[in-house]
């Protein structure tokens, strides 16, 4: 089911207070998603690490940490954001690729657990810590660049004490079968690891952005995963931990981007609705996600049968926030909501097109908290050196 529009306080009030365009997240919805996710995996020990790459909003990170989540970091910057948000280093798991000497120098002294993905990187680590290994979960011929192959495992074992095996099924995966096929390979490979402590199922749990798309059946997936983990633990004669790194699935549906209609043109049987936001503010749908629901928040009547494009406030030829939609009559000043933008929304926004980024507000317990200030022009040039 698509997430309901955020009702309280009303969008109009939030935009009056914090400006437009505006990212708004519902903290209660994030906590509920976390609890539902944790409840779907009936296995212990279970350790969930929120993948901060998809949204590093400090308030949401702290809320998830308070629920018991650790953090999954993709980059030292991810880990830095987690530490700054108050997450202890021993609650961070780092699954990276192509780490430089500086990256190791940042992560290792802090005691951040790592999953590495090549023999070269194990050599770079040089036995300084026990480590997790990212396994290629597709056939070696597949164009998948992440991980070591099964054939490389013996050499990997000679280079490091490997305590964890890690996989990543691919982002926005809606098929339980894909996760289970990867997990089966991971578990089979884990038989070679004498020091195995945990299996890391990674992230990638998908979200149904389109109306009518069936959601990933997490309960069924969690049950199957737990069964396999029980069998593995029984074979090993000790409990093997299960680590999971959900990102998108915890926050996507809790986020909405409010924007304001600036101008409306109708010609050639099409409607072009111009708004005060841009694909620089949210790198969708032209670049990353194929589709986001867009809704008129104060509709005057039903949807018109006129193909409608939602156009960003730049002349970049791909600056469309939605295409071929059916929306009600619209006029300047009307509010639109783009739904399900809590993951890879603000996180992928940029200074491309030189529109400053929107503010972020979190709704929690009836309060609206400004968590990220709106940028101004000076932010666009903040890295310029003095002439």
Q: Which is nearer to ligand PLP, 63 or 275 (CB)?
A: 63
Shortest distance, CB of residue 334 to ligand PLP, whole angstroms?
A: 32
Of all residues in the shown chain, the one whose CB is closest to ligand PLP is 247
What does the alpha-carbon distance between residue 163 and residue 165 come to, in Å, rounded to a whole number? 7
Q: Which two tokens stand for residue 276?
A: 């005060």
- With respect to ligand PLP, which residue has the nearer C-beta, 202 or 358? 202
The distance of closest approach from Cβ of residue 294 to ligand PLP in the complex, given in angstroms and rounded to an integer, is 22
The residue (of 95 and 163) whose beta carbon lies closer to ligand PLP is 95
Rounded-to-integer distance, Cα 172 and Cα 377, Å? 34
Distance CA 124, CA 128 (A): 9
* Positions that interact with ligand PLP (CB under 6 A): 51, 53-54, 72, 74, 95, 168, 171-172, 202-205, 245-248, 343
Please identify, using beta-carbon distances, which residue of 296 and 348 lies nearer to ligand PLP. Answer: 348
Closest separation between CB of residue 21 and ligand PLP, Å?
A: 23
- Whether residue 95 contacts residue 245, with contact meaning beta carbons closer than 8 Å, is answered with yes
> CA 68, 226, 161 angle in degrees (round to 5)?
75
* Cβ proximity to ligand PLP, 91 vs 316, nearer residue: 91
In whole angstroms, the minimum distance from the beta carbon of 168 to ligand PLP comes to 4
* Between 18 and 34, CB nearer to ligand PLP: 34
Shortest spacing between CB 247 and ligand PLP, in angstroms: 2
Question: Which of 77, 101, 105 is CA-nearest to residue 92?
Answer: 77
E strands, the chain, are: 22-26, 46-51, 70-73, 92-95, 113-116, 131-134, 162-166, 198-200, 241-244, 255-267, 270-275, 294-296, 308-311, 320-325, 335-339, 359-364, 367-372
Q: Which residues contact 231 (CB under 8 A, 6 or more apart)?
A: none
The least distance separating ligand PLP from the CB of residue 347, rounded to whole angstroms, comes to 10
């Amino acid at each position: 089911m698509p997430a309901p529009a955020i009702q309280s306080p009303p969008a109009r009030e939030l935009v009056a207070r914090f400006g437009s365009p505006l990212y708004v997240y519902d903290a209660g919805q994030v906590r509920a998603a976390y609890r539902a996710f944790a409840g779907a995996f009936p296995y212990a020990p279970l350790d969930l690490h929120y993948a901060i790459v998809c949204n590093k909003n400090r308030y949401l990170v702290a809320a998830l940490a308070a629920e018991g989540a650790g953090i999954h970091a993709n980059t030292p910057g991810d880990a830095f954001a987690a530490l700054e948000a108050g997450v202890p280093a021993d609650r961070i798991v780092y699954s990276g690729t192509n780490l430089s000497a500086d990256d190791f120098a940042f992560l290792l002294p802090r005691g951040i657990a790592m999953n590495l993905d090549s023999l070269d990187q194990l050599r770079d680590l040089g036995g300084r810590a026990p480590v997790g290994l990212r396994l290629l979960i597709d056939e070696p011929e597949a164009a998948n660049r992440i991980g070591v192959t099964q054939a490389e495992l013996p050499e990997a074992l000679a280079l490091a004490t490997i305590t964890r095996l890690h996989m990543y099924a691919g982002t926005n995966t809606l098929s339980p079968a894909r996760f289970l096929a990867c997990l089966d390979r991971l578990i089979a490979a884990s038989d070679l690891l004498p020091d195995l402590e945990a299996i890391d199922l990674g992230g990638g749990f998908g979200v149904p952005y389109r109306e009518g798309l069936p959601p990933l059946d997490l309960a069924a997936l969690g049950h199957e995963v737990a069964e396999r983990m029980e069998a593995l633990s029984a074979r090993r004669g000790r409990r093997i931990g299960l680590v999971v790194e959900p990102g998108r699935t915890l926050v996507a549906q809790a986020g909405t981007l409010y924007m304001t209609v600036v101008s409306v043109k109708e010609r050639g049987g099409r409607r072009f609705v111009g708004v005060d936001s841009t694909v620089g503010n949210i790198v969708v749908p032209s670049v990353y996600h194929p589709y986001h629901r867009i809704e008129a928040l104060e509709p005057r009547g039903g949807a018109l049968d006129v193909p409608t494009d939602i156009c960003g406030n730049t002349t970049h030829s791909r600056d469309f926030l939605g295409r071929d939609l059916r929306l009600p009559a619209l006029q300047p000043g009307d509010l639109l909501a783009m739904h399900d933008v809590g993951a890879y929304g603000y996180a992928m926004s940029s200074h491309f097109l030189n529109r400053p980024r929107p503010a972020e507000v979190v709704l929690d317990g009836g309060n609206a908290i400004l968590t990220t200030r709106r940028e101004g022009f000076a932010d666009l040039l903040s890295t310029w050196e003095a002439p």
